[in-house]
Structure 1
Amino acid sequence: MVNSFVSAVALAALPSALAFSNASPYFFFSTAEVLIPGAETEVATALDATDRLIESLKSCPTKSYIVVEQHGVSAADYIDEHAAPRLRSYVANPGGNDNKIRSTMIIPEVISSASRFSKMATPAQQIADYIRQNCGAVDVEDTTTSVSKDAKKITTFAVDAPRTEQDLGKTDARIEDLIVELSGSEDYDFTVIYTTTPREEPITHEGSGKKATYEMESPFDDAVQMELKRDLSSHRRASSSKEGALFERYQYFTPGIFMAFIAIIPMFSIIIVGLRALTSLEVSYFAFSKEMGPAASRK
């Protein structure tokens, strides 16, 4: 089951997936049986992925909801099994270790546009607002509102782009702490929506503002490479003549000439067939002679 998680997020490690520089993964898992449209999709837009998650939450399947918004990551950040081990166990191994997870979803490449979300709510905010309005969920942090025992609750938080490898682990631990708090009762149920946003800037070397560049290692040193270069000095054209070579000044095979050759081929074929038909005619010499004798007078 763990391999399913690795194979899902491993798309970012493939050269074909490098084209999606503005993509990041989405995760979803719940203790309820949730029907998620297009759960097997590997590439989707942020708008499409958000609509699918909202569609799956129409029935308000659980009492508690955790909505996470992680900034500045990609699918490759989650390939390492130590990056987010608790998230991996919930999504890749539903039902294992008595985690009671019954529904999961992973979209490794969710293509988003930073300019699109600059003037409107982010996917995590849209999902959280929908849960509040449709399910009547109350924010756990809102201490001014009295919350009944049976009321639905929602916890939302956003995390900045990770600076070290341990930052993703801290977010993973925070989600686990929230789940442990919910597991105080035997009939606890919850749904976790883990959205992410891609990196805004390319990776740079530590301590410098320059972009990281990668050069392919060569088994030959510089001296050998210089010797392997092609010597073009002996093949240089003489530059003494300003007019240039004959085939540089004139074009002897133009599209018009090419079309003429194409037309000549069927024309000659027709002429040859006609000549062969004429030469194959067989007429006796008497057909052109004048008839003489009594038969001609009777006519």
Structure 2
Amino acid sequence: MPIKIPLHLPAKEILEKENIFIMDDTRASRQDIRPLNILILNLMPEKEKTERQLLRLLGNTPLQVNITFLKTATYNSKNTSQYHLEEFYQTFSQVKEKRYDGMIITGAPIELMEFEEVEYWDEMREILDWTKENVTSALHICWGAQAALYHHYGIGKYVLPKKCSGVFNHVVLDETEKLLRGFDDEFPAPHSRNTNISIKELEEHPELKILSVSDEAGPLIISSKDGARIMITGHLEYEATTLAEEYGRDRSRGIEIQVPEYYFPDNNPEKKPANRWRSHAHLFFSNWLNYYVYQETPFEWN
């Protein structure tokens, strides 16, 4: 089944070339199907790249999905054209009277700041509170996961001695968990962050459970026990070259950064990296959409 996006969204042409089933507004309006309505709060600087990464995964399931992109009103992105933001994005004031089957809150390159120092933190808190009554299941990625853990559960982050960057091995801790159905016992996933979450604090919180963890990168997938909030500290949505692009960007800025671990062949940045996490990324998003959104959301919101 397709994913429905705006007719002229730049990602449309790229995804169609990858054989992702895309449907624009015109065709979708002729179908009498109850689609899932998914809201994406995109906090990443290069929003078009993140759109493509997420739409690729959301568009490869048997469910029809309507996408609404959300931007912050209290901070204006400097890396995405104003035309793109005005054409394809809404602000919270435009959507807060609606209800959504699912929501994705992305990461943001602000993790070294205290949450209260973030320019749009008050707006973020309002959105996180709003999800409790207006979203069936919210998926939080990287900084979005840290923000949710801090706001909802009082669990903070701590700065790492060096950046956690690379593709690390993870183990599944609960084989009966629906979100991880079909997963291998061990699987790779990319990480790219300077902070981490205490496993001890997660384990001791009565409302949370850790679903997957890495000896080197720490917890990857955390869930509230009711499935209403899923937190993923890594980036299963990343493309094969994303970590390489981040590494090159940091080096060009004069930042002392180690080569991403277990990523480049022979640890050589001159060699092309392979995507070793793609199948688990598709499976993760498919499971989330099916078990925590589609199976749980009402046919009609009252």
TM-score range, shorter chain: under 0.3
TM-score, normalisation: structure 2: 0.25
Higher strand share: 2
- Computing the radius of gyration from Cα coordinates, the structure with the larger value is 1
Higher RCO (Cα < 8 Å, 6 or more apart): 1
